[in-house]
Amino acid sequence: MEKVYLSTVIPVYQGGPYLESLVKELLTVKASLDYEEGPLQLIEAIFVDDSSIDDSSEILSGLQAKHPWVRILPLSRNFGQHPASVAGILHSSGDWVATLDEDLQHHPQFLIPLLMYAIANRQDVVYANPKDPVHNSLFRDLSSRLYKVLISKLSNNPHVPYFNSFRMMRGSVARAAASVSSPTTYFDIALCWFTSRFGQLKLPLRDQRSGCRSGYNLGALIQHSWRMLVSSEIKVLKVAAISGFAAVVVSLGAALYTLIQKLFYPEAIRLIGWTSLIIMTFFFGGLLCFLLGIVLEFMSVLVLQAQGKPTFFVVDRTKDKLLSPLVEKYRQSWSC
């Protein structure tokens, strides 16, 4: 029987207290899939040890010895969650790849519903987003949401508000996006270069950490936000260029009007020099704005090329039909 393989990627930094439970939950998913003997199989769980600061490395070694499908990818230093996810994705071989957090906030029980949602809606990437606020911090939840909406509007990318680290991705698309990701690339923006089939599923996700600090401090959050900003194609540049061009046109019109006035109705001009000065300022200001917009647009194109935005990418979705019969079984999990 032809199989569809699922890989999971979990960056680990300080997840020691949760790892055993997480592997247990993953094992439950794997065992149920194996028991059903269907086309879907959880082939591997890749734990990317991002130079963890607790006893995660030892716990993972023990878990790997017990479960051969658990793989550890030790990174040489702490690179951060995004690069760790990219490394894990590049080491995966599944037809579908899911990324999830180490702390059980992203519960493995949602993996299959997420995948089935993607199949049912013919999507390449599905994000799991919380139904309710998740961080127990209204400020953080709200600022995160507002920032994503702002970037979405500025970059004209409607998928930005979906972005979350709990994602189900088509393996080929995920690996392609990971292979072009540089240290400054926001991985989810890179995903947008390879597909436009995005979706989100609202799920009851909760922060399971009690008393533990989040791995993200304010500095890391700002860096995270900055990476999203520089990876996006911000349309502000285009707006600036168009505004500059409009200013040049208006100033030329004003100059023509003033010239006609000077030639035919000179008595109407009471203050000599003021009009021409304002027109000149308006004209050169607009021209500078327009040229700067063009230069920045060129730079933006070069940056995107350097970051690896592809001209095209080919994807094979024929295996999805193997999972279609399973969709109905899980439809209830998202329709309610």
The binding site for another protein (CB under 8 A) comprises: 5, 43-44, 64, 68, 71, 90-94, 171-172, 175-176, 179-180, 308, 313-316
Min CB(232)–another protein separation in Å = 21
The Cα–Cα gap between 219 and 149 comes to 21
Pick the closer one to another protein by CB: 7 or 232.
Answer: 7
CA angle, corner 53, sides to 51 and 58, nearest 5? 80
Of 232, 233, 215, 213, whose CA–CA distance to 82 is shortest?
215
Query: Which residue in this structure is represented by tokens 């972005």?
Result: 163
| φ and ψ at residue 285, rounded to 5 degrees | -60, -45
Whichever of 63 and 151 has its CB closer to another protein, that residue is 63
Judged by beta carbon, residue 35 or residue 312, the one nearer another protein is 312
Q: Least distance from C-beta 113 to another protein, angstroms?
A: 23
CB of 280 to another protein, least distance (A): 45
Count of all residues that appear for the chain in the document: 336
Nearer to another protein (CB atom), residue 5 or residue 18: 5
- State in angstroms the smallest separation of the CB of 167 from another protein: 18
Question: Which amino acid does the sequence have at 221?
Answer: L
Q: Closer CB to another protein, residue 33 or residue 134?
A: 33
For residue 253, the minimal CB distance to another protein (Å) is 44
Interatomic CA distance for residues 124 and 193, integer angstroms? 12
| 139: helix, strand or coil | helix
Alpha-carbon gap, residue 333 to 68, rounded angstroms: 30
